[in-house]
Amino acid sequence: MKLNRILFFITVASLLIACKKDPKVTDQSDQQEDVQEVVEEKFDYMVEQFADLKILRYQIPGWDNLTLKEQKLVFYLTQAGLSGRDIMWDQNYRHNLTIRKALEKIYTSYDGNKTSKDWKAFETYLKRVWFSNGIHHHYSNDKIKPEFSQDYLSSLLAATSTEISKEVYEAIFNDEDAKKVNQAKGIDNVALSAVNFYGPGVTNDDVTSFYGKMKSPDKNKPLSFGLNSQLVKENGTLKERVYKSGGLYGAAIDEIIKWLEKAQGVAENKAQGDALGLLIEYYKTGDLQTWDDYNVAWTAATEGNIDYINSFIEVYNDPLGYRGSYETIVQIKDFDMSKKMSVLSENAQWFEDNSPLMDEHKKDSVVGVSYKVVAVAGEAGDASPSTPIGVNLPNANWIRAAVGSKSVSLGNIIGAYNNAGGSGRLKEFVHDNEEFELEEQYGQLGDKLHTALHEVVGHASGQLNPGVGETKETLKNYASTMEEGRADLVGLYYLMDPKLQELGLVEDWEKTGKAAYDGYIRNGLLGQLIRLNLGDDVEEAHMRNRQWVSAWSFEQGKKDNVIEKVTRDGKTYYNINDYKKLREIFGRLLRETQRIKSEGDYKAAEELVEGYGVKVDQAIHAEVLKRNEQFTSAPYSGFVNPVLVPEMDENGEITKINVTQPEDFVSQMLMYSKHYNFLPEVN
């Protein structure tokens, strides 16, 4: 799972579940810019900013310490990842590849006026589409609205001899397919989501009926049905189009296989090589049993300096949580930080035993939880340009229970976020100077520990009751936000525990915990609202979980004024008066959230999410947006990737691999489209 937590004012750290954690919203401060001028040859993290987006760079620390064989392994794995890039585009929306190629042709061949307001609007639209891997916003899921007219686009198409169909042309401007993923209550989520996981005419009932009839060979090891396919209707009959060599996306998958085979040839050890072999077999066959075999082998392959994530993994983009989006992350181990943080995985059983869960929902034996801090060397698909800061995999509950999981914190990504931000928004939204100073001194560490606890302990904790189906089947469209909230709550509960100081992770557990609690409530009730348009409901799974955790806790503490809502000079603040009681509230909510998951209680999940996580106080939202107008920094960030450039000898053998930085966002996107263009426009 990817961690997608946007800790609003605290400097970003890392959570760890295969959840995607967004960094907090920060802004470039004048003070930081002055410091940068003084430091000679300071790395420039900022690339550019447009619309609501910042583009950043990241470095690859420790690259020169790798052997040539290890550098080759990283290079081959990054090439494999990029080879599947267009799969993500097509998964996001059926017209995305056609639209992207048309827009890129216009951009590279138009020789008209490039200083006009319309052309600038066209450039911004194209950059936004690149960032989101399609025409729907990467976070809100809303269709991105062009700020140029249909007539202007028609003139650009004519001037560059670019042709697109009427359907595709209208899709750019009309209100159809308005939501990539529509999680609203009381609708047919599949039919009203634009994501290209389902063919025309497929409904919620079709999906649940189709997979409800499927039985795994071993009921205790349920296969991930639907993970690697598109479900379509042919002559009224439902049919899967499987992602594999010779199947759907086969041309790109063959390129992935080619590079994975090269990577297998330079594997660091047998376990790593065997896991790569199973991944290759899975891509060739599309067999879900092979996918499970691969995940077992990959989870157990913990030795070595290099690791990776590659395939159809996270199910956030499927309104019903079956189908995996393509993504890859290539990682180099940070030995020093991994050693410091390994204490969490070593004590995973203590955390499970001492949690507020019901005894029947606790695991008797938490196995195989490995935790590493890594440096990212390359990303693609659903992990790029918008990237998680922590990942915990595999997602299958039975593998996590029987074999364990891998948790990683993307250290250099977190460092880049931290170095690219400022403190202006923090000062605006903290309740008082004490809260500000706690955040400045302890917030970064608190956020880092929350990420680690979320990923290492949170996602590994708890168990389903015997006979209860997979969470995606029982909790359906609420499965993702419930799981992310559950893992958040595990982290929150233990952030105020002296055990962290006993383990040597903090110098002052109480102040670190207070800073983390302040930041979470501030973000959940105020900060993240800057990412919504006024009047919108909260729809993204992680934003929902932050709001329902914060709002439920606020309501539960009203009697004792645990969290106080303060209005001062027309501005709203939230002040925590009793951190100990708030921890108890988090513990009660964790216990209930785990019960909901363990028992598959859909009604309770619906009441919790719809009651606390969806609707927004419009007066407070308008106020937050107004207060935020003074800050020029964009609320969302993403990255260009370093470029790995091999040097060859006269025999074509790689002798060295250099790390370079792309000139800008545009050049990298155009380079990717030119060199990793393996799919037709319609698949």
* pTM of structure: 0.82
Query: What is the C-alpha separation between 638 and 4, in angstroms, rounded?
Result: 13
Element (H, E) at 337: helix 335-346
SS3 (DSSP) at 168 = helix
Query: DSSP assignment of 65-99, as one string?
Result: GS-HHHHHHHHHHHHHHHHTHHHHHHHH-TTHHHH
Residue 239 backbone class (left: φ over 0; alpha: ψ -120 to 50; beta: rest) = beta
Element (H, E) at 555: helix 541-556
Q: Which among 613, 488, 607 has a CA at the least distance from the CA of 544? A: 613
Query: What is the C-alpha separation between 348 and 401, in angstroms, rounded?
Result: 13
Tell me what pLDDT residue 420 has: 75
Which tokens go with 247? 């199947």
Amino acid at 677: N
CB 308 within 8 A of CB 330: yes
Tell me what pLDDT residue 14 has: 31
Tell me what pLDDT residue 339 has: 76
Tell me what pLDDT residue 27 has: 40
Query: What is the C-alpha separation between 647 and 58, in angstroms, rounded?
Result: 22
SS3 (DSSP) at 369 = strand
* DSSP classification of residue 592: H
Tell me what pLDDT residue 17 has: 32
Query: What is the C-alpha separation between 296 and 298, in angstroms, rounded?
Result: 6
Which stretches of 466-540 are DSSP H helices? 471-474, 479-495, 499-502, 509-525
**Cβ neighbours of 24 (radius 10 Å):** 28
Amino acid at 132: S
Amino acid at 430: V
Query: What is the C-alpha separation between 87 and 84, in angstroms, rounded?
Result: 5
Element (H, E) at 434: helix 433-438
**Bridging pattern class, strands 405-410 and 369-381:** parallel
**What are the residues facing 496 on neighbouring strands?**
none
Element (H, E) at 377: strand 369-381
Tell me what pLDDT residue 345 has: 86
**Phi–psi pair at 648, nearest 5 degrees:** -115, 150
Tell me what pLDDT residue 448 has: 84
Question: Whole-angstrom distance between the N-terminal and C-terminal Cα of the chain?
Answer: 27
CB 342 within 8 A of CB 334: no
Residue 368 backbone class (left: φ over 0; alpha: ψ -120 to 50; beta: rest) = left
User: Which residues, given as ranges, of the chain have pLDDT below 70?
Assistant: 2-41, 421-423
Q: How much of the chain is in helix, strand and coil states, percent to nearest 5?
A: 50, 15, 40
**Phi–psi pair at 322, nearest 5 degrees:** -100, -45
SS3 (DSSP) at 205 = helix
CB 3 within 8 A of CB 515: no
SS3 (DSSP) at 425 = helix
SS3 (DSSP) at 328 = strand
SS3 (DSSP) at 19 = strand
Query: What is the C-alpha separation between 255 and 678, in angstroms, rounded?
Result: 8
Tell me what pLDDT residue 421 has: 63
Dihedral sign (CA 209, 478, 639, 644):
negative
**Phi–psi pair at 392, nearest 5 degrees:** -130, 120
Task: Verify cis geometry, omega within 30 degrees of 0, for the bond prior to 394.
Answer: yes
Tell me what pLDDT residue 419 has: 79
**What are the residues facing 656 on neighbouring strands?**
647
Dihedral sign (CA 422, 428, 433, 439):
negative
CB 391 within 8 A of CB 405: no
